[in-house]
Structure 1
Amino acid sequence: MKPETLNFFDKVYEVARQIPYGRVTSYGSIANYLGAKRSSRMVGYAMNCSHGKDVPAHRVVNRIGLLTGKHHFEGTNLMQQLLESEGIIIIDNQIQEFESVFWDPSLSSKAQ
């Protein structure tokens, strides 16, 4: 399937699959990368619908590193457990040293 024929959710999933292990990005960064700057909420909806699509949705958080999507994962702390298993430190549902683990798709040649 050509990239221009993919729907928005599929484009979001394509970008999310590029997030490196041990790194995170934000809903807004994905939206901005896709040229839909004001569509961070739609990126969130896409993450909510990503179950069974081999998308590392646990690596997508809000713009300040809060695990705002954690209630969409099975179990009470699955999102946090997945991130912690990748070496990310979380305290009170917030990623610590967020800037050091943040991945910006617009700065990565891999997200093409």
Structure 2
Amino acid sequence: MSVFGVFYAIVRQIPAGKVATYGQIARLAGMPRCARTVGYAMAGCQDATVPCHRVVDRFGGTKACFDTHSPGTQRALLEAEGVLFRLDGTVDLERCQWAPSVSVL
């Protein structure tokens, strides 16, 4: 399996209503310090089975690369799943960050 494939396999496990950070996905894949590579994988993903919109930056920020249909697409998708946002427009990571209880790989 390719490195991107490993990232995609992890992201597929994030349940609706939860998010993970790029760095968190990298650590779960055994590749700490590769958050940017996770970002490239999410931005270029063409597989509809990978919920890339559930991956945010370390501050809970959404990214414009997911706004292919209109500005705010990623936020709208997350809000539709029940993800909470703070007043500054970032995801409330304390309440919505995914915490896998078992090994994800």
Say yes or no: TM over 0.5. yes
Asked whether the equivalents of residues 23 and 35 of structure 2 are also in contact (C-alpha less than 8 Å), the reply is yes
Please state how far the C-alpha of 1:101 moved relative to its aligned partner: 0.9
For 2:31, the equivalent position in structure 1 comes to 36
Match of 1:36, SS state, is coil
Gaps of 5+ in 2: none
Q: Read off the aligned partner of 2:89 and give its amino acid letter.
A: N
Q: Read off the aligned partner of 2:32 and give its amino acid letter.
A: K
Percent identity, aligned pairs only, is 36
Q: Read off the aligned partner of 1:109 and give its amino acid letter.
A: V
For 1:3, the equivalent position in structure 2 comes to none
TM-score of the two chains, using structure 1 as the length reference? 0.82
Gaps of 5+ in 1: 1-5
For 1:111, the equivalent position in structure 2 comes to 104
Give, in whole Å, the separation in 2 of the partners of 1:43 and 1:52.
15
Asked whether the equivalents of residues 53 and 66 of structure 2 are also in contact (C-alpha less than 8 Å), the reply is no
How many residues matched?
103
Match of 2:38, SS state, is helix
Match of 2:5 among 7, 10, 20: 10
TM-score of the two chains, using structure 2 as the length reference? 0.87
For 1:73, the equivalent position in structure 2 comes to 67
Asked whether the equivalents of residues 28 and 40 of structure 1 are also in contact (C-alpha less than 8 Å), the reply is yes
Please state how far the C-alpha of 1:56 moved relative to its aligned partner: 0.5
Aligned residues: CA RMSD: 1.6
